[in-house]
Structure formats: structure tokens, C-alpha cells
A and B are shown apart, each in its own frame.
Chain A
Amino acid sequence: MPIESAVPLLLDNPFQRGYVPSIVYVSLYVSVIAVTLSTLVSLPIGLVMGFTQFPGKQFVKSVINTGMGFPSVVVGLMVLFAVSNQGPLGALDLIFTKQAMIISQFVLATPPITAISLAAITGVDENVRDAARALGGTRLDVALVVIKEARYGIATAVLAGFGRAISEVGSVLIVGGNITSADGISKTRTLTTAIQLEARQGRYETAMVLGAVLVTIVLLVNAIVVRLGETGAMNR
């Protein structure tokens, strides 16, 4: 495909002013909030499942693992039924808003974050936990020590969730509606839905430019998180 013809497009920008920054903003806004909420839900689940034994634990694990492979379009449809005017959340008027997109990305990002953090937490040496307990730590202290030990795995989990959220197109298109205002400022258009729109209109080159922007953002976020992890390790 014409990669070389994409280069001049970078120079003479085919978009209105503010268009690309606004879709980048919407992409990040929705994905970051969704992943933050997912992490806040996933970590406690991971800790509880990593620390305790209960009947049906394997089944819960299977459910979480299945959730990792859940098709985003199906999640989009489920969220659509929930937030549509006829659905249980209809009164909140969430259809075609960023909030609806956050809900669907939350549903998509939570299973991978839970599953990968659980693996990281389970992988923490039993001795670390015992030591923390022996030093008179409360349950919370033990949990914090374990999180600290498992932080690389947890960072990987969060990045996996973020990657899934920001690169996903099916559900945000259905519940968000891919809306911009008439002056070209995004309301619910993300990088992925913008790429889909450009491809639909046969403008493959601009679609690829936007794709490059998306990949760059994911790369930057990964680099920042890894860097933070390293600085944290040095300050220890």
C-alpha cells in the first residue's frame, strides 16, 4: 500500500485545525479513565483471589479468562442495550456520549487487567508474604508489600488493558456514534473510529497517518510506564 504517498499528507494536513488533537484527546480521555476504573476494580479482585481459597475459584478464573477474549462488538451491543433510552440506564441519557464509551471500555479492559495482575500476584514468593506477616503487618500491609513486589506484572496488566481499550473500534463506534461537531471538533470520535471513517471513504493514506498517530501514542504510554517502573526501582 502507498506508504510513500502518506508522507506528503503529513506535510499538507488534510484536516481542519484542531481536528486531530481533539480525537487524540477523546481517545486518551476515554481510555485513561476506563483503564483507571478497571485497575481500581481489578487489583482488589486479584488480591482477594491471590490470597484466599474458596470453592468455585477455578470457575471464576475461567470466567475472567473468557472475558479477555470477549469480542468488542458484543460488549458494544450489551452496553448499547443498557444505555439506550429503552434500557435500564436509559434515564441517564448516556447514549452517544463519552461516558457510554468509558463503560464499554471498562468492560473490555477489566478482564485482562484482572487476569494478568492475578498471575503477577500469585507469582510473588510465599516467603515475602510470610515475612510481612511475621513482622506484624496487618492484612493491608501484606497486600501493599505484595503489590510492590508484583508491580512489574501489574504494570504489564494495566498496559495490556490500556492497549485493548485505546485500539478497540467496535464498541466505541456503536455506543459513541463517532460524532464530531460541524466545525470538526470531536465529541465521541476516537482515533480508531476516525481511521474507520477514513477507510470507509477510501482515503487509505489519511487512515494510515491516523494509524501512525495511534501507534505512536501507545508506544509513548508504554515507554512512560516502563520508565516510571525503573525510576521507582532505583529510588527503592
Chain B
Amino acid sequence: MQRRKFLQGVGLAAVASTAGCTQITGSESTEAAGVSGETLTLTTTTSTYDTGLLDAIHSDFEEMYGVTVDAVAQGTGAALESARNGDSDVVMVHARGLEDEFMRNGYGINRRDLMFNDFVIVGPTSDPAGIEGSSSATEALATIAETQSAFVSRGDNSGTHTKEKNLWEAAGVDPGGDWYQEIGAGMGEALNNANQQGAYTLSDRGTYISQRSEIDLTILVQGPIEGGPEILANPYGIMAVNPGVHDNANYDLAMAYIGWITSPGAQDAISNYEMNGEQLFYPEAVSEEPNFQQYVPEGWSSDSDSE
């Protein structure tokens, strides 16, 4: 008797613990029209999520299609890795080199340019390396390295970290030593860390603006939005996961999402999204020009690469 009860308990608990997933699979097989009730998994970067942009604009899409968007903020490297494993349907990231590799390996298709902002070099107001107002990002970094001023690096294979590594390379510096700290964390943590030890760091403008009221760091080298060097541009792209590689990817809904977010309405919503009275992201999907290069890896042409 007691034993039977015990077994019942195990059975009940097992049912309870899987109840959620039967609901999910159940909703996919219902006869409801179109995509209604489905879930789209979007893996993205911390900068799009932590600025609050996605929460602000997603409810429109969810209402329009009657679906749920699960946004997972991971950083560009991890977001692409999740997609590579077939664990997400669509990726929104900001490292063109990694996006191109992702497409070349067949995992991502239908890439679109989505929006942009820029990177800025921020640091303490005392500016120990004296880089304020520098018009060259690479010279500023070289000066930081020369004076061995503290610099916080994301060190997490994110889009910002990738940009930072490219900048050091362009500056001809191989950063290392006590002054250079890889913290392996998100942008917000990097800003906090730099704030607490009066260090320099590279930040996307959006995350910096959204946290500016919490920290004492100031912009020392501007990005192209405020007339700074073009090398600090920060373009975001969006891609669907290739259903030919991962047949469980929700390709229909992913394309509906890409269609929606590159539409004039959603692009307006992106440009109207402000924090502390400042625009964080600049849409670039709607254009009169064809912009063919957004669909293919950078520099790709059918003559040079005929696989």
C-alpha cells in the first residue's frame, strides 16, 4: 500500500515535471491557423537586450502574429553557437566577421542589415592617458597601452570584444600586462568594473547611455554617430537559422520576424526608442538602394567563390 502510494507520487511528479513541454509540443500540432501560438527563440547580444529595446518593440510582433518571442541574451559568440546547435530560430548579433563565418558554414541564411549605432571609448574624467578628443581610435588605444593605463576588456568573444581585438590589431599593439584585464563578462559588468577601478573600456553607445546615470565614466573618443572615426561603427545584422541544416528550426516564424523587424513600422519603432532622451539605435534596413552585400558574406561574389 505504502509502496504503491510512493510509486504514484513518482509518477505524478514525473507528469508534473513534463506537463509544460507537452503543452509546447501540443500547441505546435494544433489546427490553429498559421503560426498562432508558436514560440520563436531569438538568441541575441546583451546590448540589444539590456538596453530594453527588444522588450519595447516585441509586443507589437507578438500581437500581430499571436506568438511568443523568447529572447535569450548571450553575447554574439554564444548566440551564434546556440544557433549552430539548432537551439534557436533567429539570431541578432553585431560582429560581421562571425556572421559571415556562420553563413559560409551554412547555418545562417537570409541575412539582413538591421540597424547600427557605434562604439565609444570611455574612461574616467581624469583621463590619465590623455586621449580625450582624439580623432583616431587606434591612436587612443596605442596611447593607453604606452602609458599602461588600466583597460577593461570584455574577454567573452562577444561582438564588442571582437571589435576591440580588431582595434588593437589595427593599432599594432598586442595588449597584455597588469593594466589589461579580460573580465569575461557582459557590457554592463565591464562598464561597472571599469567605473570602479577608473579604467578605460570600449562600449557600444547604447549600453553606455542606458547605464550612464549609474557610472562616472565619460566618452573620450566618439564613434561615427558623433563625428568620430568610421572604424568604431557598430552594425547589427539578423539571420534565420537554415532549416536545411536544422529541420526543427521554426523557419516560417523566423522569416516572419525578420520581415517584421526590417519593415518600415518596426524600423520606426527602433529609431523612436530612446533612453534618457537619447536615441540608442539607428535603423538601416529600409533603403532605396539594393545593398546586395547585406545578403552575403562581406566581399563575396559568385565569380570569386563558386562552391
A residues at B contact (CB < 8 Å) = 33, 36-37, 40, 84-86, 90, 92-99, 102, 140, 144, 177-184, 187, 197, 199-203
Contact = CB atoms under 8 A, between A and B. Distances in A.
B10 A203 contact: no
Contacts of B191: 202
Contacts of B9: 40
B59 interface: yes
B189 A40 contact: no
Interface stretch (B15-23, B111-119, B145-153): B15-23
Specify which of A84, A90, A96 lies most central, judged by the most chain B CB atoms within 10 Å of its CB.
A96
Contacts of A95: 87
Given A140-B2, A200-B189, A202-B214, A182 B62 contact: yes
12 contacts: A37-B14, A37-B17, A40-B10, A85-B246, A90-B248, A93-B25, A97-B24, A102-B17, A144-B2, A178-B73, A182-B56, A182-B59
Nearest to B211: A202
A78 to B, nearest CB: 14
Contact of B85 (A40, A85, A178, A199): A85
Contacts of B6: 40
A140 B6 CA distance: 12
Contact of B21 (A33, A84, A92, A140): A92
A33 B13 contact: yes
Contacts of A102: 17
Contact of A99 (B18, B41, B195): B18
A99 B59 contact: no
B211 A94 contact: no
A187 B70 contact: yes
Contact of B59 (A90, A94, A177, A183): A183
Given A84-B86, A202-B192, A202-B211, A99 B21 contact: yes
Contacts of A199: 189
A199 B20 CA distance: 30
Contacts of A97: 20-21, 24
B13 A40 contact: yes
A132 B18 CA distance: 39
B21 A85 contact: no
A203 B41 CA distance: 27
Given A93-B25, A182-B54, A183-B59, A99 B87 contact: no
B255 interface: no
Contacts of A140: 2-3
Contacts of A187: 70
Contacts of B246: 85
Given A33-B16, A85-B248, A179 B214 contact: no
Given A99-B17, A177-B70, A182 B58 contact: yes
Contacts of B195: 202
Contacts of A178: 72-73
Contacts of A201: 50, 188, 210-211, 214
A96 B70 contact: yes
Contacts of B256: none
Nearest to B3: A140
Contacts of B214: 201-203
Nearest to A184: B55
Interface in B70-120: 70-74, 85-87
B185 interface: yes
A133 B53 CA distance: 67
B69 interface: yes
A85 B86 contact: yes
B87 A85 contact: yes
Nearest to B241: A85
A144 B3 CA distance: 11
A202 B55 contact: no
A201 B246 CA distance: 34
B36 interface: no
